[in-house]
Chains A and B, each alone.
Chain A
């Protein structure tokens, strides 16, 4: 199993540009989560999907952030327009529903907005 695959690993962009982060969950996992990690705020849940449907997006910072899961094997997190304070490591994780031990993280995307 290749695990949860995120791309790109690193992204440097200018303020105001659109950024798209991508995630391929583990095959068979029905739940998908997007987290953001910063030194100040630690790991923050942004949004999670169950069976491709967004269940809780209360962690999405503002309207500049949007996430989609068009099918069971792909999700995107988009920031438009990006701002320097969006700089962080963004993680995607997937799991089997109702099993906390099935939570697997990707390697993350380090985003730097200059």
Chain B
């Protein structure tokens, strides 16, 4: 079963607003990743984080790897309609095969 708690489960916001979502775990991960899934497609990697405390940006997206290695957050600034989708956090403990554990997802809806 899932070991990552992701919140909120869904968000309905106005275009232009900032968005924040987070992920927590009871255990440590060595890598945190954030994916976006659009309708009818598989998840696509947005940001990967490799060190505790790391803050990484990708355009309007910013993600941080928590100091305790048990959490991560993703911020989206100035949302636009094409930001709509499901955002997943994922953690990896590394090692052969780099198996990922996924959060339950945050469904984002943006009103123009």
Contact = CB atoms under 8 A, between A and B. Distances in A.
A and B: partners? yes
Nearest to A105: B42
Give the contact-size bracket for chain A. Answer: 20 to 34
Interface stretch (A13-21, A43-51, A63-71): A43-51
Interface residues of B, number: 25
Main secondary structure of the interface of A (DSSP, over half): strand
A97 interface: yes
Main secondary structure of the interface of B (DSSP, over half): loop
A97 B96 contact: yes
B112 to A, nearest CB: 26
A55 B97 contact: yes
Interface of B: 2, 31, 33, 40-45, 48, 88, 90, 92, 94-105
Interface of A: 4, 31, 33, 42-43, 45, 48, 50, 55-56, 91, 93, 95, 97-108
